[in-house]
Structure 1
């Protein structure tokens, strides 16, 4: 089926809303249930990986299930998404993400509108976001070439792992970073720290796009076959 732009935008907005609501809501729940940060992080990780599998499976056929401006940017640069629609995707993702934070707060009877005070900054955090976003985009772009039907699982499992092997707990998503700036919770990030995260995420995405294009360059594959 071919979906109209308005339906694709709604899918991107709703999907990002549910993603952020899960990230923030599970963080609030995990933090309330355990005083152990490791247990809380685990309680935040599993729901995030799980909801990504669900959302990408359901909304992938509608909008491509980006839920992430870094993903949208790469697909626009690859000319697989019109620029005007890509801009709409980004607006829908950011708006949906912020509403997702507000919804999570409302469900837990917390002040709906918050500004995070959680410090997340430094070279290690920024490098972690480059690595996290590189891995996410590489998983998507390579997955499309080798096993497209597995992408929901590839993304969900990659983010589950990246929560634990990156110093930043793998935001890997500018819309999510912005939305988490509006949550003074376990999952939050100070708005002051968000721009550096966004820049790092875009850098990671662009490196991944270049790397996958190089890796699967048709001429290189033909030369390897000849040898």
Structure 2
């Protein structure tokens, strides 16, 4: 039985025994994801000595590698959503109960915020500081729409047809997205948490709503298309 089939059973049962374990796994995953994103951004920028391309490469490689490891590690325990939009899609598809989905999203948000503080602490930065990194405008919103659309499309398709390939596909796509888009957040929990770090990977709080809207629109558009391309055959 693959991890996504296991998740489907856990989510549909919504029992008190399995849900807490799933939430702890989801929290751990989101904490480590933000540590990887923010921590590699800080260290990459310091070591790059002003070479932004080198810092971005370090950030992309570390994030992609960490994401792959986290999905392989935690998918059997929680599904390794690590993203409120993935949880939303799984709920729309009936793979997780709405009650469980709500707890997942809250856990992801809390884990993301905690991960930022831990990453900042490791590099002697203030635990939380509002970012001054400008990320706004139509080009950024379009990028965020597209990267999220692609992510949700891949999750929808691979979790149905090629679950064993999902971790590699998602990690490669997100890692590559650092270079072929202008943004590459594709995750509301990540966007909100990164507003709390004034480092390489930060985003100004005032720019977050535009990202959230683009991400949600991208996810819903992907659902509309891929529920037709890859219909539910259960």
TM-score (normalised: structure 2): 0.90
For the pair 1:66 / 2:81, whether they are aligned, the reply is yes
- Gapped runs of 5+ residues in structure 1? 220-227
Alignment partner of 2:91 out of 71, 76, 90:
76
For the pair 1:195 / 2:198, whether they are aligned, the reply is no
For the pair 1:16 / 2:47, whether they are aligned, the reply is no
Report deviation, 1:146.
2.5
Query: What does the per-residue CA deviation read over 1:95-117, in whole Å, with 9 as the maximum and x for residues that have no partner?
Result: 10011000001000111121111
Query: What does the per-residue CA deviation read over 1:37-82, in whole Å, with 9 as the maximum and x for residues that have no partner?
Result: 1110001000100011100001101111000001111111112111
Q: Aligned ranges for residues 201-212 of structure 1 at < 5 Å? A: 201-212=215-226
Instruction: State the alpha-carbon separation in 1 of the partners of residues 136 and 213 from structure 2.
Output: 13
SS in 1 for 2:130: coil
Report deviation, 1:216.
2.4
Q: How many residues align?
A: 218
For the pair 1:92 / 2:69, whether they are aligned, the reply is no
Report deviation, 1:217.
3.9
Q: Which residue of the partner structure matches residue 158 of structure 2?
A: 143
SS in 1 for 2:69: helix
Alignment partner of 1:167 out of 176, 182, 185:
182
Report deviation, 1:218.
7.6
Q: Which residue of the partner structure matches residue 115 of structure 1?
A: 130
Q: Which residue of the partner structure matches residue 5 of structure 1?
A: 19
Report deviation, 1:145.
2.7
Instruction: State the alpha-carbon separation in 1 of the partners of residues 194 and 204 from structure 2.
Output: 8
For the pair 1:133 / 2:148, whether they are aligned, the reply is yes
For the pair 1:185 / 2:199, whether they are aligned, the reply is yes
- Relative to structure 2, which stretch is displaced further, 201-210 or 36-45? 201-210
Instruction: State the alpha-carbon separation in 2 of the partners of residues 191 and 6 from structure 1.
Output: 31
Q: Which residue of the partner structure matches residue 153 of structure 1?
A: 168
Q: Which residue of the partner structure matches residue 225 of structure 1?
A: none
- Gapped runs of 5+ residues in structure 2? 1-5, 11-16
Over 3 Å counting, the alpha-carbon distance change for 1:218 and 1:195 in structure 2 is closer
Runs of 4+ in structure 1 deviating by more than 4 angstroms, as ranges, are none
Instruction: State the alpha-carbon separation in 2 of the partners of residues 217 and 178 from structure 1.
Output: 32
SS in 2 for 1:113: coil
SS in 1 for 2:43: helix
Instruction: State the alpha-carbon separation in 2 of the partners of residues 61 and 115 from structure 1.
Output: 35
Report deviation, 1:17.
0.6
